[in-house]
């Protein structure tokens, strides 16, 4: 029997991990987990890294260890609250601050964005001196999390490149008038990212909204934005699809070993 991904014609490499497909400097490393390759069971099968979703804490700890083995520096997880708050990743290693983005220029920590439909955005500059990761659900995206992350990097926006990781796709993200209004009030061009399906409902393209937001900030080197966490059932967790479920994590860090 074909998997859903095979039915949809989606080719998935035989690995639980993905990397950003972008022309980043060699000093910039990325890792994007899928739902596969861990020890959790049931609705959390199997590589759930979310400690707040009801999974066995020991399973989550082991899953995070599996991820950590792939990363050259400690991972700085955040307590994501759909805010626009940005912190320094190295400062988040010994606690879990309420924030939705982190930045690092030290090479001492990996910036992390946990998602299961929301948009993870990875950032670096073209010189490979600073990286960042943002968790951009629609509230954070409308509230300025990407703008704040760009500013926290403290480099010229035209020197920044961004990668849009796996998120809910434009054929699956049904929203109400409130969401459309939240974007269109501040970005009139955002109207093109919403398809009216009647009854005060729209299909929203979160990837397009992120690109528009970044363009307004002067960031034009934007990559990714081609996956759908809802439709790719065998590969990604999806809160919109399943309700109780696990979380993936998208990571970015600086490797200064060769510098």
CATH number at residue 23: 3.60.140.10
98 lies in some domain: yes
Span 50-86, pLDDT tens digits:
999 999 999 999 999 999 999 999 999 999 999 999 9
pLDDT higher than threshold 80 for residue 13:
no
152, pLDDT greater than 80: yes
Residue 69 makes CB contacts below 8 A (sequence gap 6+) with none
- The reply to whether 62 falls in a domain is yes
Q: Is the pLDDT of residue 10 over 70?
A: no
Structural domain count of the chain: 1
In-domain check, residue 49: yes
pLDDT recorded at residue 258: 61
With beta carbons less than 8 A apart as the criterion, state whether 79 and 98 touch. Answer: yes
Radius of gyration (C-alpha) of the chain in whole angstroms: 17
Does any domain span residue 104?
A: yes
Residue 9 domain-assigned (yes or no) = yes
pLDDT at 1 over 90: no
At 14, the pLDDT band (50, 70, 90 cuts) reads low
User: pTM for the whole thing?
Assistant: 0.94
Residue 104's pLDDT band (cuts 50, 70, 90): very high
| Domain span holding position 228 | 4-254
> Per the domain annotation, does 259 fall within a domain?
no
Whether the predicted pLDDT of 19 surpasses 70: yes
For residue 259, name the pLDDT band (cuts at 50, 70, 90). low
53 domain residue, yes or no: yes
Residue 154 in any domain: the answer is yes
Between CA 31 and CA 36 the distance in angstroms is: 14
């Amino acid at each position: 029997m074909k998997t859903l991904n095979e039915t949809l014609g989606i080719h998935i490499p035989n690995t639980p991990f993905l990397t950003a497909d972008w022309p980043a400097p060699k000093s910039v490393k990325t890792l994007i987990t899928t739902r596969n390759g861990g020890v959790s069971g049931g609705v959390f099968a199997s590589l759930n890294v979310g400690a707040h979703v009801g999974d066995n804490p020991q399973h989550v700890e082991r899953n995070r260890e599996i991820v950590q083995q792939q990363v050259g520096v400690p991972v700085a997880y955040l307590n994501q609250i759909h805010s626009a708050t940005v912190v320094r990743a190295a400062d988040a290693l010994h606690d879990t601050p309420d924030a939705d983005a982190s930045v690092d220029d030290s090479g001492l920590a990996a910036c992390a964005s946990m998602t299961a439909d929301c948009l993870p955005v990875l950032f670096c500059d073209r010189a490979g001196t600073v990286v960042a990761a943002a968790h951009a659900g629609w509230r954070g995206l409308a509230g300025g999390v990407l703008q704040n992350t760009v500013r926290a990097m403290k480099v010229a926006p035209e020197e920044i490149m961004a990668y849009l990781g796996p998120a809910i796709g434009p054929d699956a993200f049904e929203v109400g008038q409130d969401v459309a209004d939240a974007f269109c009030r501040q970005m009139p061009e955002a109207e093109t990212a919403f398809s009216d399906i009647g009854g005060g409902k729209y299909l929203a393209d979160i990837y397009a909204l992120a690109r528009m937001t970044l363009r307004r900030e002067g960031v034009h080197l934007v990559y990714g934005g081609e996956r759908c966490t809802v439709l790719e059932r065998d590969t990604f967790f999806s809160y919109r699809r399943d309700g109780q479920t696990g979380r993936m994590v998208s990571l970015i860090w600086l490797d200064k070993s060769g510098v």
